[in-house]
Structure 1
């Protein structure tokens, strides 16, 4: 009879039910029953993730005008913060290898998973581009127009131009066929990938700004108006990376 330790190790490397796993369900040891229940639950979760992944691929491909059209997903990170740039990204996939499974709205992933997926996206994307829109442009254009401009620059700088754009809740000034998708990062694989590249890039930038302005805790709050950030603003004032067109900063510098 196999030990519970041996069974646990074998289940780690078993991805499909078979004769051996079927027999385990008849094992009356509490430890084995717990292991097989946990394993079955893991398989079901993986199946659900696979189904969601396939739905996102089908969603993207449903917008193709022709079979060989390229679809780009576009998203942003950082429209709401009081400090730091807004970052946008555009991503095109031609194939969808197994490693892309699990890509989702960047806000629903841990920092570790976002960073891991960012490298996978860069590896397997047919083309991608990340654009960083400066605080000066945000203040000059306003955040909506600055984001729109940045998204267009991300698209224009792709090494291969797409035939279709899927944009997260935005309409761009372009002749390329486009669709504005509400909550697109939850529906589209390409938009979700763009959201991950935009967010990881911006988070890394804010980590660097944290070294320059440690009293504002930018690595923790990413420039958003948290209580510690607002307290630092009152105590230390406005920095070069604060958005002068955003309140309460706008009132502070009058």
Structure 2
């Protein structure tokens, strides 16, 4: 054992890129502190291996397209269930250089992680765009059709040419080959990236609406029908951003 290698030093080196010789030497170290560090290191390595493999599995559809020289957009929407606010879709195009293995269905990430990923995602994807359909249009169309319109608007706002679409459980009215993927945000990296960007974008919109329409808790519930939101409806009434065809809102209309 090298006496100069304190446990603190080894801890720092393990956070970097230790060599195979380093690891062999440290595994022979009998200090309890070193053994604990190596257990933590091995767990982290296993977690990263699993994450990398899952990332590769969720790139299958994109890789098949890239092998044909084709460029796809992944598309997802958020905001079908809320009683207030718009439905927001995002369309995202990635290429072979995309390496954010943490990207996943936005519902499987904490808010803190989602927000932390937002700027890096915007910088690393080839292109991204949003489509927004407001509450009045939702009431006019119905939420399913409004979601399809939001997706189409997002796709049409992209600046790069497309050869096809990967869409979470839907199809859109565009003359492009489309792969309708059930649970697509868990099966495709580009759809997962779209779900993150769309969720962050919509949450920001709802926090802005919370300042315009206080008392409903939009900054916390994003327009979903929480107890706080329903109490606000009962005492303050319906706002212009409420979906008037949704039954919990409808009963408060005068």
Shift of 1:189: 0.6
Pick aligned residue for 2:35 from 18, 33, 36: 33
Change (3 A) 1:60 1:97: closer
- Whole-angstrom CA distance in 2 between matches of 1:20 and 1:61: 36
The Cα shift of 1:115 comes to 2.0
Aligned to 2:157: 157
Secondary structure of the residue aligned to 1:252 is coil
Task: Indicate whether 1:46 and 2:48 are aligned.
Answer: yes
Pair 1:11 & 2:23 matched: no
Deviates more, 1:179-188 or 1:154-163: 154-163
Question: 1:97-108, aligned counterparts within 5 Å?
Answer: 97-98=98-99, 100-108=100-108
TM-score (norm 1): 0.94
- Return the offset for 1:146: 0.6
Query: Is 1:235 the counterpart of 2:235 in the alignment?
Result: yes
Structure-to-structure mapping, 1:132-151, within 5 angstroms? 132-151=132-151
| SS across alignment from 2:170 | coil
User: Residues 1-254 of structure 1 correspond to what in structure 2 (within 5 A)?
Assistant: 1=3, 2-14=5-17, 18-62=20-64, 64=65, 67-98=68-99, 100-253=100-253
C-alpha deviation, 1:139, in angstroms: 0.8
Contact between 1:61 and 1:71, CA under 8 Å: does it hold in 2?
no
- Of stretches 240-249 and 17-26 in structure 1, the one that deviates more from structure 2 is 17-26
For the Cα contact (< 8 Å) 1:73–1:190, is it kept in 2?
yes
Query: Cα distance 1:97–1:149, how it changes in 2: closer, same or farther (>3 A)?
Result: closer
Q: What is the rounded CA distance, in whole Å, between the counterparts of 1:71 and 1:59 in structure 2?
A: 9
Number of residues paired by the alignment? 251
1:222 and 1:91 map into 2 onto residues whose CA distance is 23
After TM superposition, give the deviation of residue 65 of structure 1 in Å. Answer: 8.8
Query: For 2:215, what is the secondary structure of its paired residue?
Result: helix
Q: 1:215 deviation in Å?
A: 1.1
- Measured after TM superposition, the shift of residue 66 of structure 1 is 6.4
Decide whether the 8 Å contact of 2:233 with 2:252 is kept in 1: no
Structure 2 residue matching 1:223: 3-state secondary structure: coil
Q: Is the 8 A contact 1:75 1:195 kept in 2?
A: yes
Unaligned ranges ≥5, structure 1: none
Q: Distance in 2 between matches of 1:154 and 1:73?
A: 10
- Given that 1:155 and 1:161 are in contact with CA atoms closer than 8 Å, whether structure 2 keeps it comes out as no
> Following the alignment from structure 2 to structure 1, what is the Cα–Cα distance between the partners of residues 199 and 104?
12
Offset at residue 144 of structure 1 (A): 0.5
Over 3 Å off, 4+ runs: none
> Are the equivalent residues in 2 in contact too, given 1:127–1:158 (CA < 8 A)?
yes
Change (3 A) 1:17 1:54: farther
Q: CA RMSD in A?
A: 1.5
| TM-score normalized by the length of structure 2 | 0.94
